[in-house]
Structure 1
Amino acid sequence: MARRTPAARPSRMLPADRRTQILEAARRLLEFRPVDELSVESVAREAGVSPGLLFHYFGSQRTFRQAVLEAAAEELLAHVRPDPALSPAEQLRAGITTFTDYVTRYPAVYRAVTRLGTAAGVRTLHRSARSTLAGWLNAALTAAGAPATPAVTLAVTGWLACMEEIVLAWLDDPTTDRAALEALCERSFYQLIRAALDDEDRWLLLRKRVTVRPPAPRPDEPPPAG
């Protein structure tokens, strides 16, 4: 009688890969439920692992939810990272569109970070993500010739807070279409920068410059850092 070949055992995943697998399972579930309803048991079932394994990697349900939000923020920033080949105006428009794409798909994550961030870890995460976005916007404005004044910096930070509230209000009551929402966010950015400059001639010059794409790098030139 021929001997049966035993079924191959699944390969053992590296800890970092297993952690990523679990967080990806949680992200899939976040399309259908709020973060505070994300249980260890449901995520374990989605990931095909035991609940005990989640506690092994994350320690507690609270720590696990924090890790889920951190992974979501990292993913969002990766999506909205500006393309250096585009003009500042194109970067802004693309960033608003990508941002809206993400929060429309994962509204529970967005609300958790911006509205439910009472825990110190979530507040820190929110501030860090906003600081990264502000840094990109300020760099684009400076490259286009805007002065790096406190007023401009405050305008950028204020616009990010304003956009968050606009999108949150739209998620709660989408009485306008998405194209109008994105256009409103874009116009409000330019109006705040215009007010911060407080110089109409400088504003008109900047408004032209932000539409200009940077020169293409030479073939022998290394790619930009970051």
Structure 2
Amino acid sequence: MYLVSTSKTRASSRRTRMSPQARRDQLIALGLEMVGNRPLEQVSIDAIAEVAGVSRALLFHYFESKQDFHVAIARAQAQEMLDCTEPDHSLGDPLLVLGASMAAYVDYVTENRSAYMALIRGSASADPAMREVFDHTRSVMAGRVLEHAPALGIEPTPVVQMTAHGWIAFVEQTTISWLTDPVITREELLSVITEALPALATVVGAAVPAG
């Protein structure tokens, strides 16, 4: 996990000499903590430098620009989300694996909605590096789905692969809409997003010939 206590981080950074990688990780951790309660674009270099107990100039030693720093924060946040939603293959049944992963996803987004929204906005960013973070995250999630397609009796054809990516977008938007206006329960939300995948993939797989 990247989240750390700012008071402990400030104190320790002034007491000990940190390696370049440890310092960089610390700065990203502080950025992740700040993005938990404010938009990413409002995470300032000055605020991070003050909390870390370093100069503004030193921070630019580790990151080429403010945007580069923001991309590093988004990348760390995306990896944290992927780690939290890693499928538990010990559950056996692909639908149980999917359900558990989606439950972890909904809980993560609920607890980190500000940081997650920053990642989602990256899809429309003018910065190719920010878009790459978003695209990579979605590709990993879609890949996890396709890994279990054969166990569900679904051949992972190009059309099914496209459908998996579309389902990920559906999950993202549905979850964000639910956070904004929770007109259904968490359990009902999970039912909607998990049951939509096999139904959608089966219909597409049956309608479009393989190859």
Asked if Structure 1 and Structure 2 have the same fold, meaning a TM-score greater than 0.5 normalized by the shorter chain, the answer is yes
Q: Which runs of 5+ in 1 are unaligned?
A: 1-8, 200-226
Q: Percent identity?
A: 32
1:51-70 correspondence to structure 2 within 5 Å = 51-70=56-75
Q: 4, 13, 19: which one pairs with 2:24? A: 19
Alignment TM-score, normalising by the size of structure 2: 0.82
Q: Deviations over 1:131-188 (max 9, x none)?
A: 1111111111224442122232222111101111111212222232322222211121
Q: Does 1:186 align with 2:207?
A: no
1:60-209 correspondence to structure 2 within 5 Å = 60-87=65-92, 88-116=94-122, 117-118=124-125, 119-198=127-206
2:15 match: secondary structure? coil
Q: Deviations over 1:99-157 (max 9, x none)?
A: 11221122222222223532211211111111111111111122444212223222211
Q: Report how far residue 29 of structure 1 moved.
A: 1.3
Closer, same or farther in 2 for the Cα pair 1:169/1:57, shift >3 Å? Answer: same
Q: Are the aligned partners of 2:30 and 2:48 in contact in 1 as well (CA < 8 Å)?
A: yes
Distance 2:96 2:59 in 1: 41
Distance 2:64 2:178 in 1: 36
Higher relative contact order, structure no. (Cα contacts within 8 Å, ≥ 6 residues apart): 1
Moved more, 12-21 or 84-93: 84-93
Q: Deviations over 1:69-89 (max 9, x none)?
A: 011111111111212222211
1:148 match: secondary structure? coil
Task: Name the count of aligned residue pairs.
Answer: 191
Alignment TM-score, normalising by the size of structure 1: 0.77
Distance 1:125 1:182 in 2: 25
Q: Which runs of 5+ in 2 are unaligned?
A: 1-13
2:89 match: secondary structure? coil
Distance 1:171 1:39 in 2: 26
Counterpart code for 1:50: S
Counterpart code for 1:159: W
